[in-house]
Chain A
Amino acid sequence: MNDFTYITALAHLPKWRTERINLLIVDILKKKKLTFTEFFEVEKDTLQKDFGLKQKEIDDILEVKQELPNYAFLVDELLNQGFELIPIYSLDYPKTLKSNLGDAYAPPLLYIKGNKEIFQKEKVAVVGSRNVSQKGIDFTKKITKKLVKQGNVIVSGFAKGVDRVALEVALENEGQSIIVLPQGILTFSSGFKKHYQGIIQGNILVMSTYHPKLPWSVGLAMGRNRYIYGLADNIYVAESDFKGGTWEGVIDGLKKIKQFRMEGYRKIYVRYADRQEKCANNELIKKGVIGINNNLEVISDLNNLNQNKVNPEQIELF
């Protein structure tokens, strides 16, 4: 049980990069085959020699050791209120998140409430900007409904616009959804009140990667996008601006696809926009994101080597 205390303390080591934390966890549990209890008992020397920690890092570890009882109080509060903790080494940890983000970005600890089995299902993210157009909303509704009918779990960031629409449509159609929070899980009371039925029926899983008490902030919201993309097997972009979270997430994802170019690796789709629209959708198509029309048919896939390259400018002729 008290592993939760240790992992919570480690996951929130101040100013440590995710990768550094993940590697330390691997070092403790896998390489050195120690329990966390044993790790926190080792001498300073060992931390330096065997774990290769720098002086600053050792100081951090020693400080967090003093705070372990405090973390016990935090974990107790969480568990008693029905939250669960899923460390990166747990079998419940979503595989997509680990494989998509790797040691560098996969969060060492997830705080969740709801049906965690959803993590293991086929997941798609329907994303888009907060100020989405009516066309974007219509598309979101249509695609979400279709995806839900096919048995996909909808990953939502609970942001205004596309995220909320996708979530609502998923629930209306008796689908399942993961809400990825841009805040600590203890600061989401209104959401938990609103989605109580969805949670207790097992249709909603709420997840946060942040310290449970952190309130919403722009920084967390931006950071959260990575986890939405990371959780999803496939991504559907309803509408993107030329900058911002959606745009960056897609570009980031695209790089990876190009990097791997492998069969079965997840796909990113974007709605093909009309000429008058000011969004960046078609720009993404040009960069190689798969274009789909309002009937959800693929009309452009620059990365698919077996298919003719299509000039998006010409698509309207089809």
Chain B
Amino acid sequence: MNRIQAENKLQRLFKHKSFYNDQWRAIEKLLEGKRILMIEKTGFGKSLCYQFPATQFNGITVVFSPLIALMRDQINYLKNLGILAECINSEQSDEENNEIIEKALNNKIKILYIAPERQENLKWLEAVKKMKLAMIVIDEAHCISVWGHDFRPAFKRIVDLVKLLPANFPVLAVTATATEKTAQDIKKQLGAEKITYIRGNLLRSNFKIQVARVEREEDKLGGILKFLTNIQGTGLVYTGTRVNTDIYANFLISQGIKAIAYNAGLEGEMRKEIELKLKRNEYKCVISTNALGMGIDKKDVRFIIHTQFPQSPIHYYQEIGRAGRDGKNTDIVLCYNPLDRDLPEHFIDTARPSKDRYERVVDILKNSPEPLRERDLTKKSNLKQNQMRVIKADLIEQGIIKEVMYGRGKRYEYQFNAPNLNTTKFEELRDYRLEELDKMIKYVEEHNCRMRYLRNYLGDKTNDVCGKCDNCLNKNIFWKNSSEMEKKVRNFYDSYFPELKVANGKTKLVNGVAASYYGFSNIGSVIHKCKYEKGGDFPDFLLKQTLRAYRKYFKNIKFDFIIFVPPTESGDLVRNFTEKLSKITKIPISYSLYKVKETKPQKVFQNFWNKKENVKDAFDYKNPQELFNKNVLLIDDIFDSGATIKEITKTLSKYNINLLSPLVIAKTIGGINVK
């Protein structure tokens, strides 16, 4: 088929007149059964490069894509054109997925979108071996490379698969964000000698990008509030941590802005709802970690503000990439305080657990009588779940352990003749990330065109300037609160209390509140001193703060009495604290909750499963009849996993309590709670 013939078909099938040159280059090769790596900016039309050939092949094109929201959107678009497209993903029911698999087996689908994680799903693996396959597409192909900004182990499986595909089977890998180093790595992994590399220009000409210098966190809050009151349209604010999504969102809400916090800690349903409402412009802005972004299909994101600079320019380009896909003017602002370097540096430093933790996992698998499930492995190694995930992926990558299907479940096996753990790779990667971080800071301190800096960094070498960024316009931007704004921020700080989201609708437990975050100001260290360094009772300012939180949060609940969590090793601190609280609030205190077995301090345990096991069946209540139909306030010093509170709820629910709500001094943040 030549270009003219193809464009005739294009007109008929997709209602487009012609291909861009880069599009046709890719399509021509794919039709010949070649492999392509394509790097083009968001909005270029990468999808057409596989959608068109897919309609020409006799068989199914499988598109591996990590983004369910984008999958859905593509499918609607294709279905409207009358092209048979479906997707298989975790948000659909098993019946729906099975129905689609059935269609695919009968060759009644042209394009099948699927999440890379499915490569580990037995049902899919069974089915795909019987499908008539025509082409494989890897969307967001930068996830293949550890040098990329978003390496995902599931993509490793796709690479393994591509290596095994017959030589003349067409494969297309596409991404909008890959540095030259990442691109070369992807090429190498997919078989460099056979792959055609197409790279387009990465200029986003509708972006007006700026850096706003600030000296304090308070000025960021104030600056963003001011910015939002003066701008049309809806957009996103990216923060560096989950906690900050809460803080920024609550501040903006308190000032009458329609904002909402979004992070990976939210339930799936909640996240979906926020995504949907964002799309319908029901918020002025969504405050999010980088958990939101790639999956958002919204063409008119009018602005993106970063309260904290990301780890590297590629992270940054990726995160701002979803804005302004409609081509209209779009504001991109990065808040910069030189002190902000600490956070990304911390993430880079702690991206990998220490070597002994890797060794711990290896030893457990080496000595186990049988292969272990993830949960058992995590429990036995007493590691945090996210650390376990990192370790697991690295050990698999290095061929030390394997993930093996046993029946329907996965288990982990040590491998005979496994190599030793190679930490040099981790160090190389860490050094590389630190260099990248430096380049991010260079971006901030750049005096010339910022868009050009980003393009050059990404390997799109150019001398062109954008003419729109703060540097091109010769504007230096500083954000500093007026005294009036400062007052607003201060007031907010003094009255903001983190919610404890413990209710799940199934138990008598309702949400509670903490007086503060553990790491906020000096609260953590004060508590620590009292608890573990014999510093005496919790000081009065903690009591005052806790009372404020209580009064603000529990306006609508009348408690019948207060109980407290019996101590493990901190003696009577919580009891004394509760007595004072009881005296002031005039809610009677009850001493009936007691421990029926010894427990260890929860902080010893690193993951929820171990914490849960530690406190399992540990509590009982002396006078259960006094609980009947009562509202009870439960006091503790620190709220971490919530396992203790859940266990106590379980015990008290037996005695027909009406409701139980926790009030604590501090809620932990958790060092790695980023996404």
Name A residues whose Cβ lies closer than 8 Å to a Cβ of B.
1-2, 4-6, 37, 40-41, 65-66, 68-77, 79-82, 114-115, 189, 192-194, 196-197, 199-202
In contact, B406 and A82 (Cβ under 8 angstroms): no
Q: With A65-B166, A73-B161, A80-B403 given, name 18 new contacts (CB 8 A).
A: A2-B166, A5-B165, A37-B166, A37-B167, A70-B129, A70-B130, A74-B129, A79-B164, A80-B402, A192-B371, A192-B404, A192-B406, A196-B368, A196-B371, A200-B366, A200-B414, A201-B416, A202-B417
Which residue on chain A has the smallest CB distance to residue B367? A197
Known: A76-B157, A193-B370. A68 touches B415 (CB 8 A): no
Q: Which residues of chain A are near B44, meaning CB under 8 Å?
A: none
30 A–B contact pairs at CB < 8 A?
A1-B163, A2-B165, A5-B164, A6-B166, A37-B168, A41-B168, A65-B166, A68-B165, A69-B133, A69-B136, A69-B166, A69-B169, A70-B128, A70-B129, A70-B130, A72-B161, A72-B164, A73-B161, A76-B119, A77-B125, A79-B160, A80-B402, A81-B402, A82-B415, A189-B405, A189-B407, A192-B406, A196-B369, A200-B415, A202-B417
Given known contacts A114-B416, A196-B368, is B166 in contact with A75 (CB within 8 Å)?
A: no
- Docked-complex contact B371 and A73, CB < 8 angstroms: no
Residues of B within 8 A of A1 (CB): 163-164
Residues in B158-177 with C-beta less than 8 Å from chain A: 160-161, 163-169
Docked complex: B395-429 residues within 8 A CB-CB of A: 402-407, 413-417
CB neighbours (8 Å) of A70 from chain B are 128-131, 133
Q: Within the assembled complex, what's the spacing in Å between the Cα atoms of A93 and B402? A: 24
Distance of B488 from chain A, by nearest CB (Å) = 55
Does B3 count as interface, using CB distance less than 8 angstroms?
A: no
Interface centre among A1, A41, A77 (most CB of B within 10 A): A77
Q: Which residues of B contact A79 (CB under 8 A)?
A: 160, 164
- Which 4 pairs, one residue from A and one from B, show the smallest C-beta to C-beta distance? A82-B402, A72-B164, A69-B133, A68-B166
Whether B164 contacts A75 by the Cβ 8 Å rule is yes
Query: In the complex, which residues of chain B have a beta carbon less than 8 angstroms from the beta carbon of A82?
Result: 402, 404, 413, 415
Q: Given A66-B132, A193-B406, A200-B366: A80 and B157 within 8 A (CB)? A: yes
Say how far B115's CB is from chain A's closest CB, in angstroms. 16
| Distance (whole angstroms) from the CB of B541 to the closest CB of chain A | 56
Report whether B405 and A81 are in contact in the complex, using a CB–CB cutoff of 8 Å: yes
Please indicate the chain A residues that have their CB under 8 angstroms from the CB of B371 in the complex: 192-193, 196
Contacts of A202 in B (CB 8 A): 416-417
Are A81 and B167 in contact, with the CB atoms below 8 A? no
A37 to B166 Cα, complex, angstroms: 7
On whether the beta carbons of B166 and A200 are closer than 8 Å, the reply is no
Please report the C-alpha to C-alpha distance between residue A194 and residue B414 in the assembled complex, in whole angstroms.
Answer: 14
Q: Is the CB of A189 within 8 A of B406?
A: yes
Question: Is there contact, CB below 8 Å, between B164 and A2?
Answer: yes
Given known pairs A115-B416, A200-B415, the reply for A72 and B403 (CB within 8 Å) is no
Closest to A190 in B: B406
C-beta contact mask, B137-181 vs A, less than 8 Å → 1, else 0?
Answer: 000000000000000000001001101111111000000000000
Interchain CB contact under 8 A, A200 and B413: yes
Please state if A2 and B163 are interface contacts (CB–CB under 8 Å): yes
Selected from B132, B160, B413, B417, the residue in CB contact (under 8 A) with A76 is B160
Question: Complex Cα distance A77/B413, Å?
Answer: 15
In the complex, what residue of chain A is closest to B404 when comparing beta carbons?
Answer: A81
What chain A residues lie within 8 Å of B132 (beta carbons)?
A: 66
Look across to chain B and name the residue whose beta carbon is closest to the beta carbon of A114: B416
Chain A interface, DSSP helix/strand/loop, else mixed: helix
- Give the chain B neighbours of A73 by CB distance below 8 A: 125, 128-129, 161
Chain B residue, CB-CB nearest to A3: B164
In chain A, what residue has the closest Cβ to B413? A82
A192 to B405, CA, bound (A): 11
Which chain A residue has the least Cβ–Cβ distance from B164? A72
Residues on the B chain within 8 Å of A81, using CB: 402-405
Whether A72 contacts B165 in the complex (CB less than 8 A), given A81-B402, A189-B406, comes out as yes
Q: A82-B415, A200-B413 are in contact. Are A5 and B166 (CB under 8 A)?
A: yes
Q: Which residue on chain B has the smallest CB distance to residue A74?
A: B129
CA distance A74 to B416 in the complex (A): 22
User: Chain A's nearest CB lies how many Å from the CB of B461?
Assistant: 34
Min Cβ gap B280→A in Å is 40
Neighbouring A residues of B133 by C-beta, 8 Å: 69-70
B residues in contact with A196, CB < 8 Å: 368-371, 413
> Complex Cα distance A197/B372, Å?
12
Chain B residues in 8 Å Cβ range of A115: 416-417
A193 to B166, CA, bound (A): 33
Please tell me if the beta carbons of B128 and A200 are within 8 angstroms of each other in the complex: no
- Complex CA–CA separation, A37 to B132 (angstroms): 19
Q: A70-B131, A115-B417, A202-B417 are in contact. Are A76 and B406 (CB under 8 A)?
A: no
**Smallest CB gap from B135: residue in A:** A69
Please give the distance in Å from A34's CB to the nearest CB on chain B: 13
Contact call A72/B131, Cβ cutoff below 8 A: no
Question: Which residues 166-223 of B have a CB within 8 angstroms of A?
Answer: 166-169
- Chain B residues contacting A41 (CB-CB under 8 Å) are 168
Chain A proximity of B371: nearest CB distance (Å): 6
Docked CA distance A317–B131 (Å):
69
Q: What residues of chain B lie closer than 8 Å to A194, measured between beta carbons? A: 370
* B residues in contact with A192, CB < 8 Å: 371, 404, 406
Cβ–Cβ < 8 Å partners of A199 in chain B = 416
Residues of A within 8 A of B406 (CB): 189, 192-193
Question: How far is A115 from B418 in the complex, measured between Cα atoms in Å?
Answer: 11
CB contacts (< 8 Å) of A71 on chain B: these are 129
A28 to B346: give the CA distance in the assembly, Å.
57
Q: Which residues of B contact A40 (CB under 8 A)?
A: 166
CB proximity of A5 to chain B, nearest CB, Å? 5
- Residue of B with least CB distance to A193: B370
- A276: shortest Cβ distance to chain B, in Å? 42
Known A-B contacts A82-B404, A196-B369, A196-B371; the reply to A76 vs B416 at CB < 8 A is no
- Which of A2, A6, A114 has the most C-beta atoms of chain B within 10 angstroms of its own C-beta? A2
**In the complex, which of the residues B136, B167, B405, B406 has the most CB atoms of chain A within 10 Å of its own CB atom?**
B167
Question: CA of A74 to CA of B125 in the docked complex: distance in angstroms?
Answer: 8
Q: How far is the CA of A60 from the CA of B366 in the complex (A)?
A: 45
CA distance A263 to B407 in the complex (A): 48
Q: In the complex the two chains form, what is the Cα distance from A79 to B125 in whole Å? A: 14
Contact B416 A72 (CB under 8 A): no
| CB nearest neighbor in B for A9 | B166
Which of B165, B404, B413, B416 lies in contact with A69, CB distance below 8 A? B165
Residues of B within 8 A of A75 (CB): 164
- Determine the residue in chain A with the shortest Cβ distance to B169: A69
Name the A residues within 8 Å of B131 (CB-CB).
70
Closest residue on chain A to residue B166 by CB atoms: A68
Which of B130, B160, B369 meets A80, CB within 8 Å?
Answer: B160
Task: Choose among B164, B166, B415 the residue with the greatest number of A CB atoms under 10 Å from its CB.
Answer: B164
Q: Which of A1, A82, A202 has the most CB of B within 10 A?
A: A82
Interfacial residues of chain B within 95-131, with CB under 8 A of chain A in the complex = 119, 125, 128-131
Complex-state Cα separation, A81 to B416, whole angstroms: 13
Please measure, in the bound complex, the distance between the C-alpha atom of A77 and the C-alpha atom of B164, giving whole angstroms. 11
Which A residues lie within 8 Å of B125 (CB)? Answer: 73, 77
Query: Which residues from chain A contact B167 at a C-beta distance below 8 Å?
Result: 2, 37
* 55-114 of chain B: CB within 8 A of chain A: none
Once bound together, how far apart are the Cα atoms of A260 and B157, in whole Å? 49
CA distance A21 to B180 in the complex (A): 45
Interface-centre pick from A73, A80, A82 (highest chain B CB count, 10 A): A73
Q: How far is the CA of A36 from the CA of B132 in the complex (A)?
A: 21
Min CB–CB distance B415 → chain A (angstroms): 6
